[in-house]
Structure 1
Amino acid sequence: MKEKWISHPTTLEGTNVELIPLEKEHFEELFAAAADKDLWALIPTDGTDRTIFYQNYELALSERETERQYPFVIRHKETQKLIGSTRFFEIYPSDKKLEIGWTWITKEFWGTSINLECKLLLLTYCFEVLKTNRVQLKTKDNNIRSRKAIEKIGGVFEGILRKDKIQNDGTTRNAAYYSILDDEWEAARQKIEALIREKETSLKS
């Protein structure tokens, strides 16, 4: 039997968070954490709707079996609470590429180093364990805050895909595509680590 590119279970541990493989037992706590509509403004899915939420996370589990996705829950180490979710998807082992997305974190941790720490854990795993050539990230073309955040961590803008996704309300969205390549990883890692230090210093002062 062929070995999976992303071995299961894969847990990524940082200073403040652990990224743990999504399981059905997480669904209820995760859904409760996802109750704020603001969390879903960047994602073309309304995770505050129980049916939509469960369908999407059930799909993520089934897609893990076929190596199309690898979903994580984000656990805050100090409180042991689930504070969000993220995942690998658009996984192409033969081309050594994948996408990081479906990321949301509860408002309590907005403006902290948590999201940066998650990205550092995910990207480190991609480039140093999986030996990816390319990691893709995308967001709504008019989401300037998110686009700037991707650029700050070393994401290189590649273009806009028009009407890239149909959202839950039936409207379409354009997507701004970014990537980080293997030969850009060292510079990106240094940027992320510097941003984490900056955030943590400003929160302490």
Structure 2
Amino acid sequence: MAYADPITLRDEIVSLVPLSSDHEADLKEASEDGELWKLWYTTVPKPEDMGAEISRRLDLQKAGSMCPFAIVDNASGKAVGMTTYMNIDEANRRLEIGSTWYRKSVQRGGFNTRCKLMLLTHAFEEFNCNAVEFCTHFMNRQSRAAIERLGAKLDGILRSHKMMPDGSLRDTCVYSILAHEWPTVKTHLTFQRDKTR
């Protein structure tokens, strides 16, 4: 199986399903919950741009550089956010988990831990990845804290790395989890997941 091939990952609370245009209405509603696109240090699509963002991610999947997911709340059956395997480098058995966002009402409720546990388990145990990366804006303290809670370690900061939509420059914090660290990280995430049941 290629890293960009569509897959479904699920547990009893949340599912990661292949992103499609069928998720557009749910994701528009999710973006409106908390007006997430107004956060200057991240790039959550505006509701009116959701269709274009879904198309962009699916085009990157066709090119083999991304595997996009809709994050679905099993209880409601509705998509509550998006995430991806991205910057796929199969030759070196590396990928990034990113372009992740959740509607405000499900943040801090255990969804992120569950999704990352499923994504990391698949990356390390099915793809046999050497490393999985996470990148975020230096100013995005909430995202940095969430990445660090996973057990990822800071590799470094890429200064003036990217232009943001508002024209500002992003310093990118690059984190990773290495294959030999995965067993400990998995134990930690499983413990955290089970605390939210």
Structure 1 and Structure 2 fold alike (TM over 0.5): yes
Distance 1:10 1:46, change over 3 A: closer
Distance 1:144 1:46 in 2: 16
Verify: 1:168 aligned to 2:165, yes or no. yes
Given residue 11 of structure 1, which amino acid in structure 2 is its aligned partner? T
- Secondary structure of the residue that 1:89 maps to in structure 2? strand
Q: 15-24 vs 31-40, which deviates more? A: 31-40
Q: Is residue 79 of structure 1 aligned with residue 76 of structure 2?
A: yes
Show the counterpart of 2:116: 119
Compute the TM-score of the two structures, normalised by the length of structure 2.
0.92
Q: Which stretches in structure 1 are left out of the alignment for 5+ residues? A: 201-205
Match of 1:150 in 2: 147
Q: AA paired with 1:59? A: R
**In 1, Cα distance between the equivalents of 2:157 and 2:176?**
13
TM-score, normalised to structure 1, is 0.88
Q: Structure 2: which 5+ residue stretches go unaligned?
A: none
Q: 1 CA distance for matches of 2:36 and 2:44? A: 10
**Cα distance 1:196–1:43, how it changes in 2: closer, same or farther (>3 A)?**
farther
Which aligned pairs between 1:105-144 and structure 2 lie closer than 5 A?
105-144=102-141
Q: Say if 1:168 and 1:42 are closer, same or farther in 2 by CA, change over 3 A.
A: closer
Contact 1:37 1:46 in 2 (8 A): no
Report the aligned-residue RMSD: 1.8
SS in 2 for 1:125: helix
> Structure 1 CA distance, aligned partners of 2:11 and 2:157?
33
Structure-2 separation of matches of 1:42 and 1:196 = 30
From the superposition, tell whether residues 40 and 11 of structure 1 become closer, same or farther in structure 2 (CA, over 3 Å). farther
- How far the C-alpha of 1:46 sits from its partner, in A, is 4.5
What CA distance in whole angstroms lies between the structure 1 residues aligned with 2:173 and 2:48? 28
Structure 2 counterpart of 1:94, which letter? A
Whole-Å separation in 2 of the counterparts to 1:72 and 1:126: 14
Q: Which residue does the alignment assign to 2:95?
A: 98
Residues 1:13 and 1:193: Cα distance change in structure 2 (over 3 Å)? same
Task: Report the equivalent of 1:203.
Answer: none
C-alpha distance in structure 2 between counterparts of 1:39 and 1:7, whole Å: 26
Aligned to 1:198: 195
1:8 offset after TM fit, Å?
Answer: 3.3
Cα shift readout 1:156-185 (whole Å, capped 9, x = no counterpart): 111111112211111111111100011110
Matched, 1:50 2:48: yes
CA contact under 8 A between 1:44 and 1:168: conserved in structure 2? no
1:65 to 37, 62, 66: 62
Query: Size of the alignment, in residue pairs?
Result: 196
% identity of equivalent residues: 30
- Which residue pairs with 1:41 in the alignment? 39
